[in-house]
Chain A
Amino acid sequence: MEHTHHYRDGRLCRRLAEQIASMCAEDIRIMEVCGTHTVSAFRHGIRTLLPRSLSLISGPGCPVCVTDQAELDAFIEIANMPDTILATFGDLMRVPATGSSLQKEKAKGKDIRMVYSTMDALDLARANPERQVVFAGVGFETTAPTIAASILAAHAESLRNYSVYCAHKRVPPALDALMHLSGIEIQGFLLPGHVSVIIGEQAYAAFFEKHRIPCVIAGFEPADMLYGIGRLAEMIASGTPGLENAYGRAVSEQGNLRARQVMDRVFETTDALWRGLGRIADSGLAIGEEFADFDAARRFCVNVRPAAAPAGCACGEVLTGRCLPPQCPLYAGVCTPAHPVGPCMVSSEGTCAAYWKYNRLSDGWGK
């Protein structure tokens, strides 16, 4: 962790911010796609160093936030099945489903376990052979390989009581869907670092060729983000869009080939429902035929009924950059981190939660 200090150097960051300011003669709008970028920008005070003419718009990069209401309801249904343990990453616990949340179900006595890794979920299955262990598979290409690996491991040892309810999503098709939305006026994308470690720069090539919009892959430390934003500002100012990897120490052209192979072996692409973006072709990952036995949706015939987002909640608009959290009628009044209405207020990577947590002062700094 020692090396992170170099990327948090105050003088370096201020110099990068000054360079950005010198390139922002006109108003520009950049979308940071990843929720970790959103939080990092607030946590390190990056927004307060940027010129007022540059707007950093948060995108659909918080995995639990883009999870459709119907999928959240399906997790609740699974948690209520007899003799079942639902294993999940912590982020999902407090996200409001229709009339409940996993945390509320756990308080009612349902067996819901928070795990740090899918391997912990496998251990649960091994230790509880008389019960079904279902993993709530939510996340982007970052987490998908570890979930695929858990299915391969369960398959190899014929673990009959382990399965995954797969609600995984892919980032590149969502970028394309964003470009077709009206009213977002994004001039450049700061592309996610962790996702790109897996899928590589190549995964965005088709998107870039189609839309010719500035795209820069960036890391999460302040200097990484400021450098990435600077490259985007320069491309926008000079009218020379490019696809650039500014996170070379972690992201390669092809990504993590081993992780991609594991994903390709277990999953196949499918259409998926996104909060705020609706159905996007090929934007989801489903468990392929060879591993159908490990698909909780098929094993338990989970009934996924269309479900409406909470009334008045603007999470869908916030996730797509069409609305800033303070513009949502529920923000800070009805919807707060203690009593969240929509997922963006509860997830640690949610845009509304980040605005609330880091940016709630009357003098308006850090727009």
Chain B
Amino acid sequence: MKNHTIALDHGSGGLLSHELTEKIMLPAFDNPVLSRLDDSAVIESQKGRMAFSTDSFVVDPLFFPGGNIGDLAVNGTVNDIAMSGAVPLYLSAGLIIEEGFAVRDLETIIASMAAAARQAGVSIVAGDTKVVPPGAADKLFINTSGVGWIDGDLEINAANARAGDCVLLSGTMADHGMTILNQREGLSFDADVKSDSAALNGLVARMLSVAPDGIRVLRDPTRGGVATALNEIALASGTGIQINESSLPVRKSVSGLCELLGIDPLYAANEGKLIAIVDRACADAVLTALRQDPLGTDACIIGQVTADHPGRVVMETAIGGRRIVDMLTGGQLPRIC
């Protein structure tokens, strides 16, 4: 591209828009459905149930240790689809770019989207780019939507949790949330933290292969963290969830940062972890399968579903006490003292 920054004309639908698509998007996302450049992508359908999800990404900063907004936007939607047990296949990507954005940064982000899509085995088959005047958007926003198909009569949803089931977490908590917080507002503590942004569909496939009938609920605990996801499951299923503080995996560096900033890691965002509610009979097999995957090496059983305190999550603390783990209200604000 001749220009070094994005101009309003790059979103006008005219020559510069065409150049942006031809030079940056098409080579990166390279697939026959997209390259037809028709008004809509035409994809082969399977009979049966389809999972469909959408998510918008406005993360600030755009680049952070462990990823950028591009791979986050692909992985986020892939994971939302995968959490229903579906195999994600096709994504769309809508970009809203603030005028003046560096073309080089855009190229890096698009390359990350393409790499994440390849890694997840999905194709980005439809897209749109708009450019808005300075101040009308903050640098770059990305929306991705996606579809996937659900095999057979698989039923994975939050209402399925039953008393006696085990609660599994695929790895450490709060890596993404604390990385972003550490980068933001010049708050760069010299901490060894990085985002866990990753596509989880491979992990889900592995779990389903060992326990096709034993996976009751899958959730990726993004905003609101593990605590909020568990509360949603407890409310949807009318069960209680009991977790053990000493089983909760948190990296030392992340836990240190949380202590320093007064943030509870249970409420911080994850972008490459899943919670699985699993039939107790299959729990060991699923755990072993999780741990065999590089994305699940720190997987563990963090608690169980119970008939007690329906709709509530209760934690046995490390010192042997008990407390409620509530939904997040508002954002977590840094403490005053």
Beta-carbon nearest neighbor of A103 in chain B:
B330
- For A123-154 the 0/1 string (1 means CB < 8 A from B) is 10000000000000011101100000000000
Our pick among A1, A10, A43 for the contact of B252 (Cβ within 8 Å) is A1
Q: Which residues of chain A are near B319, meaning CB under 8 Å?
A: 8-10, 13-14, 44-46, 49, 222
Our pick among A8, A9, A360 for the contact of B324 (Cβ within 8 Å) is A360
Residues B336 and A116 in contact, CB atoms below 8 Å apart? no
Beta-carbon nearest neighbor of A143 in chain B:
B337
Residues B330 and A337 in contact, CB atoms below 8 Å apart? yes
SS class of chain B's interface: helix, strand, loop or mixed?
Answer: loop
Does B46 interact with chain A (Cβ within 8 Å)?
no
Q: Which residues of chain A are near B335, meaning CB under 8 Å?
A: 36, 89-91, 348-349
Does B329 interact with chain A (Cβ within 8 Å)?
yes
Does A107 interact with chain B (Cβ within 8 Å)?
no
Our pick among B186, B326, B337 for the contact of A120 (Cβ within 8 Å) is B186
Does B294 interact with chain A (Cβ within 8 Å)?
no
Interface size for chain B: under 10, 10 to 19, 20 to 34, or 35 or more residues? 20 to 34
Smallest CB–CB gap between A121 and chain B, Å?
12
Smallest CB–CB gap between B140 and chain A, Å?
23
Beta-carbon nearest neighbor of B246 in chain A:
A10
Residues 278 to 325 of chain B near chain A (Cβ within 8 Å): 309, 312, 314-324
Our pick among A1, A91, A120 for the contact of B333 (Cβ within 8 Å) is A91
Our pick among B262, B315, B321 for the contact of A348 (Cβ within 8 Å) is B262
Our pick among B187, B322, B332 for the contact of A366 (Cβ within 8 Å) is B322
- For A318-353 the 0/1 string (1 means CB < 8 A from B) is 000000000000000000011000000000110000
On whether A45 and B317 interact (CB within 8 A), knowing A116-B185, A358-B324, A358-B326, the answer reads yes
Smallest CB–CB gap between B60 and chain A, Å?
14
- For A274-315 the 0/1 string (1 means CB < 8 A from B) is 000000000000000000000000000000000000000000
Smallest CB–CB gap between A295 and chain B, Å?
21
Does A359 interact with chain B (Cβ within 8 Å)?
yes
* Docked CA distance A2–B256 (Å): 8
Our pick among B259, B318, B323, B336 for the contact of A63 (Cβ within 8 Å) is B336
Beta-carbon nearest neighbor of A365 in chain B:
B322
Q: Which residues of chain A are near B256, meaning CB under 8 Å?
A: 1
Smallest CB–CB gap between B254 and chain A, Å?
10
Does B334 interact with chain A (Cβ within 8 Å)?
yes
Residues B314 and A361 in contact, CB atoms below 8 Å apart? yes
Our pick among B314, B322, B329, B333 for the contact of A114 (Cβ within 8 Å) is B333
Residues B320 and A13 in contact, CB atoms below 8 Å apart? yes
Q: Which residues of chain B are near A366, meaning CB under 8 Å?
A: 321-323
Does A94 interact with chain B (Cβ within 8 Å)?
yes
Residues A90 and B336 in contact, CB atoms below 8 Å apart? yes
Does A191 interact with chain B (Cβ within 8 Å)?
no
Does B144 interact with chain A (Cβ within 8 Å)?
no
Beta-carbon nearest neighbor of B318 in chain A:
A8
- For A87-127 the 0/1 string (1 means CB < 8 A from B) is 00111111000000000000000000011100010010000
Smallest CB–CB gap between B331 and chain A, Å?
9
Residues B185 and A47 in contact, CB atoms below 8 Å apart? no
Q: Which residues of chain A are near B145, meaning CB under 8 Å?
A: none
Does B179 interact with chain A (Cβ within 8 Å)?
no
* Docked CA distance A1–B318 (Å): 16
Q: How many residues of A contact B (CB 8 A)?
A: 52
Residues B322 and A45 in contact, CB atoms below 8 Å apart? yes
* Docked CA distance A2–B253 (Å): 10
Q: Which residues of chain A are near B262, meaning CB under 8 Å?
A: 348
On whether A359 and B323 interact (CB within 8 A), knowing A1-B252, A337-B329, the answer reads yes
Smallest CB–CB gap between B175 and chain A, Å?
16
Q: Which residues of chain A are near B318, meaning CB under 8 Å?
A: 8, 10, 44, 222
Q: Which residues of chain A are near B326, meaning CB under 8 Å?
A: 356-358, 360
Residues A47 and B321 in contact, CB atoms below 8 Å apart? yes
On whether A361 and B334 interact (CB within 8 A), knowing A44-B319, A120-B185, the answer reads no
Residues A94 and B324 in contact, CB atoms below 8 Å apart? no
Q: Which residues of chain B are near A356, meaning CB under 8 Å?
A: 326
Does B255 interact with chain A (Cβ within 8 Å)?
yes
On whether A45 and B337 interact (CB within 8 A), knowing A4-B259, A116-B185, A338-B329, the answer reads no
Residues B336 and A138 in contact, CB atoms below 8 Å apart? yes
Q: Which residues of chain B are near A337, meaning CB under 8 Å?
A: 329-330
Q: Which residues of chain B are near A233, meaning CB under 8 Å?
A: none
* Docked CA distance A365–B318 (Å): 17
Smallest CB–CB gap between A2 and chain B, Å?
7
On whether A89 and B252 interact (CB within 8 A), knowing A45-B317, A222-B319, the answer reads no
Can you list 30 A-B contacts (CB < 8 A)?
A1-B252, A1-B260, A2-B252, A4-B259, A10-B318, A10-B320, A14-B320, A45-B315, A45-B317, A45-B322, A46-B319, A63-B337, A90-B334, A91-B335, A92-B336, A114-B333, A116-B185, A116-B334, A120-B185, A139-B336, A143-B336, A337-B330, A338-B329, A348-B332, A349-B335, A349-B336, A358-B326, A365-B322, A366-B322, A366-B323
What are the 8 A-B residue pairs with the smallest beta carbon separation, nearest first? Answer: A45-B321, A90-B333, A1-B256, A45-B317, A13-B319, A337-B329, A142-B337, A48-B321
- Excluding A48-B321, A338-B329, 14 further A-B contacts by CB distance (< 8 Å) are A4-B259, A36-B337, A45-B316, A45-B319, A45-B323, A46-B321, A48-B323, A89-B336, A90-B333, A90-B335, A90-B336, A91-B336, A120-B186, A337-B329
Chain B residues packing against A (C-beta within 8 Å): 185-187, 246, 252, 255-256, 259-262, 264, 309, 312, 314-324, 326, 329-330, 332-337
